[in-house]
Amino acid sequence: MNRSPNFGARRDGLRPELVVLHYTAMESSAAAQRALCDPAREVSAHYLVSESGEVLPLVDEDMRAWHAGAGEWAGRGDVNSRSIGIELANTGDAPFAARQMAALMALLPGILDRWSIPPQGVIAHSDMAPGRKIDPGPRFDWHRLARAGLSVWPAPRDGAGLPADERRFRRDAEAFGYPRDLPLDLLLATVRLRFRPRHAGPLDSQDMSVMADLAARFAAHEGLTPRRERP
Ligand SMILES: [Zn+2]
């Protein structure tokens, strides 16, 4: 089967305002395609990008695919109704192939254009489901996507180091879109997974500057569509 039967209508008239990137955590693209098209699995994505850069459309973009699960972004749940899901075939511990990245970077501009999604709307599964999901993981090259205008990357100014301050870090992270009321350790690990993937240790001034810059330039509540449209 080439298309997935695992989808429904987007709820409450919601439209895509996010693109959620995943890795499949399976041994091959073919195995992932079988799983994403298996009615018994009840999972899917709009696109699967193979290791060799083949883009397989599995669910129409205007439909609600089943990739995000429980979680939220910018204070809004039902991410499946609000997003396009893209699965990258990857075992979870291997680099992403150059041809696969090139295919993703060729796929994204059309999606962002069709649905008027800003670059800050391209997020990781781990961003919206902290503690539950870690994909697309520390090997994914977010900086490269951002340089092409297909996601965002922090650019803290030199000398802008801020003292470690849990309340401010949390406020900035939530303004950017991260879920509210996470334990600090989990929030910090989630932010670093995407923006400082090889960093460990307690909250530091670089974490502060990264999050302050992202919050200042890309506060989620400005770029995304309202929570609910008035009838
Ligand atoms: Zn995922």
Cα-to-centroid distance, 13 and ligand 1 (Å): 24
Spacing, Cα 165 to ligand 1 middle (Å): 31
Mean pLDDT along residues 24-31: 96
**Could you count the other beta carbons within 10 Å of the beta carbon of residue 164?**
14
Q: How far is the CA of 20 from the centre of ligand 1 (A)?
A: 8
CB contact set of 184 (below 8 Å; sequence gap of 6+): 166, 169, 170, 203
Average pLDDT (161-173) is 94
How far apart are the CA of 135 and the centre of ligand 1, in A?
5
212 burial via Cβ count (<10 Å: 0-12, 13-18, 19+): buried
213 Cα to the center of ligand 1, angstroms: 26
Cα of 145 from ligand 1 centre, angstroms: 18
CA of 26 to the centre of ligand 1 (A): 12
Q: How far is the CA of 43 from the centre of ligand 1 (A)?
A: 10
Handedness of CA 107, 176, 156, 96 (dihedral sign): negative
Q: How confident is the model at residue 56 (pLDDT cuts 50, 70, 90)?
A: very high
CA of 161 to the centre of ligand 1 (A): 33
Say how many Å lie between the CA of residue 189 and the centre of ligand 1: 17
Ligand 1 center to 216 CA (angstroms): 27
Distance of CA 29 from the midpoint of ligand 1 (Å): 14
Q: How far is the CA of 136 from the centre of ligand 1 (A)?
A: 7
Percent pLDDT > 90 in the chain is 90
Kindly state the average pLDDT of the residues 9-20.
97
Q: How confident is the model at residue 198 (pLDDT cuts 50, 70, 90)?
A: confident
Give buried/exposed letters for 53-73 (b at 16+ CB in 10 A, else e): beebebbeeeebbbbbeebbb
User: Contacts by 31-35 with C-beta closer than 8 Å and gap 24+?
Assistant: 32/87, 32/89, 33/58
pLDDT exceeds cutoff 50 at 226: no
Q: Whole-model pTM?
A: 0.94
Q: Give the mean pLDDT of the chain.
A: 93
Kindly give the distance from the C-alpha atom of residue 90 to the centroid of ligand 1, in angstroms, as a whole number: 11
**Distance (Å) from CA 159 to ligand 1 centroid:** 36
